Structure 1
Amino acid sequence: MNFALILFILLLVSGALWALDHFVASKRRSVGAKSPWWVEYGASFFPVILVVFCLRSFVVEPFKIPSGSMIPTLLVGDFILVNKWTYGIRLPVINKKIVDVNLPKRGDVMVFRFPQDTSLDYIKRVVGLPGDKVEYIDKKLTINGQAMAQSPDGDYLHAERLFYSPRFTEKLGAVEHKIIVENDAPPFVSPSIQYPFRENCTYTNRGVSCTVPAGHYFMMGDNRDGSYDSRGWGFVPEENIVGKAFFIWFNFSDLKRIGSFH
């Protein structure tokens, strides 16, 4: 059971208790009499839960980065904020879009429900838009026949394991961001599962080439050799989108990481 559903159930229960106390029980009690403790406490939580539920469902939602797939942009332990309305207003729990706002752009960092298990939230960078031909060959990214600009940017130190990875600056659309690539890792990738529109992709010993189907997106991690992403499990349907990640609000190990990112 996910947190959104738990929060929704708490909202219903506390709201029912508040309505019962406000419209029924309070009119039957004698003057000065108190309501039962379970009604009083349940009803008192209702306004707080309502505010949290609305903010989390329609404005901004906090997430914690669980893996290193987005290194060097996002690190394990980063607490981030996700804009819930920039890609459209969606009904909570069922995630059905009811109001269109914007579409994802190439280069956005996006949170989405994992297509193979929608109870899991993943975070990756939007690389391919609907209709794009995305090629990742010999560790070079090409979109619609155009190589994405990439330039060396020194080395990235993995502090927890004390080793370096080559770092590059890459430009996707209007977004310039950092990636890391391991020189000794093989260039090929293998699909880990059968996924919808698998016929849109061709795998070779040099990499993968995919045409993104309508209503879907091709996602990749900035840690190119350490990311389980669209290269292995396919495309993200539009209905799985959760929101756009935009701000690091805390990291227990490094307070300097607080701030926005690309």
Structure 2
Amino acid sequence: MSQHAAPAGRRSPRVAVLLSIVGAPLGHMYAGRARRGILLHVAMTLTALAALAASMEVQSRAPRIGFLLVIPLAWVVVLADAWRTAGRARADAPRRRYQRWWVYVVVWIGLAFVVQPAVYGAATSRWRAFKLGSRNMMPTLLPGDYVMARQNVAVPRGALATRADSTGAMYMSRIAAVAGDVVQMRRGDLLVNGRVVIRSPPFSPADDIQMPEFAWQSAHLAGVDTAGYRPTMFTWGPLKVPAGHVFVLGDNLPGSFDSRHFGFVRERLITGRVEWIYLSRDPATGEIRWPRIGRGVE
């Protein structure tokens, strides 16, 4: 007498959706369509990565926002399909071998500790998201701006870069000068190799005070007598950037903590280039600043 597997019973669409949230293929496994769940999970992951890559290549706001919306939309499609598949599952369908609680646990462990870290690692080696918490980059970036940055690329002079310090903490600064450049500031005008690259923003003469922490600069002066060197917030240099280093500045010169204070930054600590703002929320009110979303960062 042949033996038949017991029926799986009715499948709850709500349970299928919850399992898909825990791990995308799990909802379809519960509904008896494991292969469909795996294929959808792979398709969702590839779609999200492709949308993220495309958002870094376009130059206008609307396409960036459109590609950004593709990512949650792909996730919604998977959840909706899990709901639909579970609702259509026959109550008298035989229980499949993988429809066991311990199989779900094993699959979830594999997703959480193998698949997802591998995908995340591959993605963050090319793109990373950052939140700005300081006023260093005002008005280009505001506290509460969330940005996408392209990782492991050459960042040219003048671009906004992400950088790490010796502890691994991440910051954003503009690369004002690269190795071999001579950089200086005269009453707020930034000069690189003798050419004015940034005109002075309005500032109060009271802010242009002598800065004792700028004393490190004396060892890197180019053609200036160190004995009479008295650097101020907006007048210092000229400094010769050594090999393997860059000089970084914040756009908010009166309130920025940057290379003027702590010195040159090793090139290897520059991790990427900031590209665009994908979300912006006022840290005081929590309100979303809609006009900033999708803006490119120059």
* Bin of the TM-score, shorter chain as denominator length: 0.5 to 0.7
Q: TM-score, normalised by structure 1?
A: 0.63
Please tell me whether residue 111 in structure 1 is matched to residue 147 in structure 2: no
**Structure 2 residue corresponding to 1:80, chosen from 147, 160, 181:** 147
2:8 is matched with none
1:50 is matched with 118
Larger of the two Rg values belongs to structure: 2
Contact 2:160/2:175, CA 8 A, preserved across alignment: yes
Residues 193 and 144 of structure 1, relative CA distance in 2, 3 Å threshold: closer
RMSD (Å), alpha carbons: 2.5
Structure 1 CA distance for aligned equivalents of residues 272 and 212 of structure 2? 26
Equivalent positions of 1:147-186 (< 5 A) are: 147-148=196-197, 150=199, 180-186=201-207
For 1:211, give the aligned amino acid. K
State the percentage of identical aligned residues. 27
Residues 72 and 189 of structure 1, relative CA distance in 2, 3 Å threshold: farther
Residues 107 and 205 of structure 1, relative CA distance in 2, 3 Å threshold: closer
1:200 is matched with 220
Contact 1:131/1:213, CA 8 A, preserved across alignment: yes
**Structure 2 residue corresponding to 1:68, chosen from 135, 139, 151:** 135
Between Structure 1 and Structure 2, the one with more helix by share is 2
Equivalent positions of 1:6-21 (< 5 A) are: none
What do residues 58-114 of structure 1 show as CA deviations (whole Å, max 9, x unaligned)?
210000001011000000000001101322xxxxxxxxxxxxxxxx31111001112
Structure 1 CA distance for aligned equivalents of residues 271 and 102 of structure 2? 40
Identify unmatched segments of 5+ residues in structure 1: 1-30, 88-103, 151-167, 169-179
Between Structure 1 and Structure 2, the one with more strand by share is 1
Equivalent positions of 1:206-245 (< 5 A) are: 206=232, 207-209=235-237, 210-245=239-274
2:292 is matched with 257
In the TM superposition, what is the alpha-carbon distance from 1:193 to its structure 2 partner? 8.0
Range that drifts further, 185-194 or 241-250: 185-194
2:73 is matched with none
Contact 1:185/1:225, CA 8 A, preserved across alignment: no
Residues 192 and 261 of structure 1, relative CA distance in 2, 3 Å threshold: same
Range that drifts further, 65-74 or 248-257: 248-257
Identify unmatched segments of 5+ residues in structure 2: 1-96, 282-287
Contact 2:211/2:231, CA 8 A, preserved across alignment: no
Q: TM-score, normalised by structure 2?
A: 0.56
